Amino acid sequence: MLERIVRWARRKSPWILHFNSGGCNGCDIEILDLLTPRYDVERLGILKEASPRHADVLLCTGPVTRQSRDRLRRIYEQIPAPKWVVAVGSCSCSGGVFRDGYNVLGGIDQVLPVDVYVPGCPCRPEALIDGLARLLEMI
């Protein structure tokens, strides 16, 4: 019973933290679109938090570069469990056009366990909402 209540609460209140590990900033603008009147993800209880300690879901954009790998891992470790990772955009799903670059490791899944992939360059806000809804179903 208690477990069901907790699972309900987690599904209804995912607070997101957004990290760009080396992308072109296109997907980041699409993420900010989610908070505007047109899409308003606060309907789903989603809030954008600034501190990893407060967050539940890590939204990653961009490919992982050698520079940002350690920082990405560190931020993931700072989020208290239970936590989920969403890879936003083609670059963070697979590395995208940067895939074979000398300084690029590839997608987010090279470093962190990814729960949901949202492809697109940049992905549309509707696709992002769909991806988050799929994540909430998984929880």
Partner 1 sequence: MTEWLSVLFALLVFPGFGFLLACALAFQWIDRRVEARLQGRVGPPWFQPLADLIKLLAKEDVLPVGANEIACAALPMVSLAAVLTAALYIPVGGWVARTFEGDLIVVLFLLSIPALAYFLAGWLSVSVYSVVGGSRSLLQFFSYEVPFLMALSGPAILSGSWSISRIAAQQSQAVWLALVQPLGFLLALVGLIGKLKRSPFDIPKAKSEIVAGPLTEFSGRKLALWHLTMHIQMVVGIFLLVNLFLGGSDVGVTIPGVLIFGIKALFILLMLSVASALYARLRIDQLANIGWRVLAPLALAQMLATIWIGGG
Greatest alpha-carbon pair distance for the chain in Å reads 52
Question: Mask of contacts with partner 1, 72-111, x by CB under 8 A?
Answer: ------x-xxx-----------------------------
Through-space distance between the first and last CA atoms of the chain, rounded to whole angstroms: 16
Residue 33 binds to partner 1 (criterion: CB under 8 A): no
Exposed, middle or buried, 93 (CB in 10 Å: 0-12/13-18/19+)? buried
Residue with smaller CB distance to partner 1, 91 or 112: 112
Residue 8 binds to partner 1 (criterion: CB under 8 A): yes
Name the 3-class secondary structure at 10: helix
Shortest Å, Cβ 133 to partner 1? 15
22 touches 63 (CB < 8 A): yes
Q: Which of 25, 29, 32, 54 binds partner 1 (CB under 8 A)?
A: 54
Stretch that binds partner 1, among 22-30, 50-58, 86-94, 95-103 (CB under 8 A): 50-58
60 touches 87 (CB < 8 A): yes
Alpha-carbon Rg for the chain, nearest whole angstrom, is 15
User: Under the rule (CB under 8 A), what is the footprint of partner 1?
Assistant: 5-6, 8-10, 12-13, 37, 40, 42-43, 45, 49-51, 53-54, 56, 78, 80-82
